[in-house]
Amino acid sequence: MKKKIIGLMIMASLASVFTACGLNNDAKDLMKPPELSINQEEVKDLVKEKLGSNAKLISPKRGENNSAIQFVDLDNDKKDEVLVLYRLENDKYPLRGLILTQQGDDWKIDEGIKGIGYDFDSILFKDITGDGNLEIVVSWDIGEERINKGLSVYKYENGNSVEMFNDSYEAFAVDDIDNDKKAEIFLVKLNKDEIKSKGKLYKYVDKKIKLVDEVDMDGGIGVHYSVKVGMASKDKKGIFLDATVGAHSSITELIVMENGKLKNVFYNEETESVDATFRSYGSVSEDIDNDGIIEIPLLREPATYENASMAEIPWITSWYKWDGKDGLKFNGEGYFNILGGYYFSFPEKWDKRITLKHIESDENKSGRDELIFSYVDKNGEKCKLFTIEVFNKKDWEGNLEKDKYVEIDSEADKIYAVSIEKDITNEQARKMNLNIDEIKDNFRIYKFKF
């Protein structure tokens, strides 16, 4: 039951971060330490003096740019402007943004960013016009259930910000998809009444942001919980959209551009859905092997779990790359131990006769999280290979049986250790087993972002 609850908790958490996830990695470089003769406390005092007690500083809920006060060079003059986000209670436009520009000893204050809704969902800085300056992309929570979103784009020029674009969306991405030095805006429009969905691409053309193309998408999804822009192949960018389907299942849609047109790679026009990437639980597309290309996760059950309930299965993640057409090519497997806080990548020599058993800490007599890997022979007999255990540091230091384990990693108050079976009589199982160096190479602590 706990595993089922954990699975549902993961899906609920993923759904709460469905936009602006992984879209603004390049903005890390923009948010450098301020080069101005002012710090955040002085900015707060200046804003308080300007706005009074009715204004409350607020931070965006998501993304890397998650401070109420942000320093960024918007107009490419090698000097940072200061963006200040705040809320005015009981105002027609409660969500506000000030842009402060230093002019000698004085400050020019622009108050052009105004929006309705409940929160700033995220803030991005992107060159949408292609002039080398950065536009401010603001996403707003505008619905009572925090599901409806709005997106605005502001141009900052000559000390003033002007809204260039605004629209609603269910999910979005802003990035240079076609490598023309201008960021495009991709919005997902979901009509749940008609079970229809469209992806719409907007681009700066003839001094305006215009709709330039659209593509059909799966209308049966619940919510997009992860959206990433990254390399789908060695020479082509893509938008990876992970979405819920039903109570706990999910899919990935991949949008690329071919000959100047959007293409939904896995979309089936006959069924008006995406079936190729369907999986039983939520998973997130990512560059799991750090080769610069994003992989898509599918899930499979290990051997010996054919008759188990879905909640009891320790799902193996199978990773696939886009094949450049409308299919997938296998790129390895591994297991995410969410409660243990790590990922274990399966070596190439392993086949589907490898199985595993996850014993959670509160189910284990030892009180430790335990992951057991075994080989299943042709008669269905299991032969244990090795076990990864998560120790509390105090328990590790006082463990009388410590000599049967080898420490493979550590963090904060945790020690990750492994015990390898020595007297294995099955010849094939011996071949499948790993030595301590191989286990270390395939193990990594993993920070789950939900």
In whole angstroms, what is the distance from residue 346 CA to residue 416 CA?
Answer: 17
In whole angstroms, what is the distance from residue 371 CA to residue 442 CA?
Answer: 14
Q: Does a structural domain hold residue 46? A: no
Q: Does a structural domain hold residue 412? A: yes
The confidence score (pLDDT) of residue 147 equals 60
- HEC profile for 209-236? EEEEEEEEECCCCCCEEEEEEEECCCCC
Q: Are 223 and 231 in contact (CB under 8 A)?
A: no
The confidence score (pLDDT) of residue 17 equals 38
Q: Does a structural domain hold residue 430? A: yes
Show the tokens assigned to 73.
Answer: 């060079």
CA-CA distances (angstroms) from residue 282 to 146, 245, 320?
Answer: 21, 9, 16
Candidate from 82-91, 131-140, 179-188, 227-236 with smallest mean pLDDT: 82-91
Backbone angles phi, psi at 395, to 5 degrees: -65, -35
Where residue 107 falls among pLDDT bands split at 50, 70, 90? Answer: confident
Where residue 28 falls among pLDDT bands split at 50, 70, 90? Answer: very low
The per-residue DSSP string of 295-318 comes to BEEEEEPPTT-TTS-GGG--PEEE
Give the number of domains in the chain: 1
Identify which of 332, 378, 353, 347 has the alpha carbon closest to the alpha carbon of residue 441.
347
What domain range includes position 398?
354-445
Show the tokens assigned to 354.
Answer: 């490898």
The 10s digit of each residue's pLDDT in 222-270 is: 999 999 999 999 999 999 999 999 989 999 999 999 999 999 999 999 9
Q: Does a structural domain hold residue 289? A: no
pLDDT, mean over the chain: 89
In whole angstroms, what is the distance from residue 177 CA to residue 185 CA?
Answer: 9
Q: Does a structural domain hold residue 237? A: no
Candidate from 93-97, 361-365, 418-422 with smallest mean pLDDT: 361-365
Most distant CA pair in the chain: distance in Å? 82
Give the residue-averaged pLDDT of 133-162: 88
The confidence score (pLDDT) of residue 247 equals 86
In whole angstroms, what is the distance from residue 404 CA to residue 419 CA?
Answer: 6
Tokens 């250790």 belong to which residue?
417
Give the residue-averaged pLDDT of 156-170: 94
Q: Does a structural domain hold residue 28? A: no
Where residue 33 falls among pLDDT bands split at 50, 70, 90? Answer: very low
Tokens 């929006």 belong to which residue?
115
Q: Which residues contact 225 (CB under 8 A, 6 or more apart)?
A: 11, 14, 15, 16, 17, 18, 21, 242, 243, 244, 250, 282, 284
Give the residue-averaged pLDDT of 7-30: 40
Check residues 200 and 412 and name the one with the higher pLDDT: 200
Q: Does a structural domain hold residue 317? A: no
Residue 332: burial class (beta carbons within 10 Å; 0-12, 13-18, 19+): middle
Residue 259: burial class (beta carbons within 10 Å; 0-12, 13-18, 19+): exposed
Q: Does a structural domain hold residue 438? A: yes
The 10s digit of each residue's pLDDT in 373-392 is: 999 999 999 999 999 999 99
The 10s digit of each residue's pLDDT in 207-225 is: 999 999 999 999 999 999 9
Q: How far is CA 397 from the centre of its chain?
A: 36
In whole angstroms, what is the distance from residue 250 CA to residue 8 CA?
Answer: 12
Show the tokens assigned to 105.
Answer: 């000893």
Tokens 């959206």 belong to which residue?
227
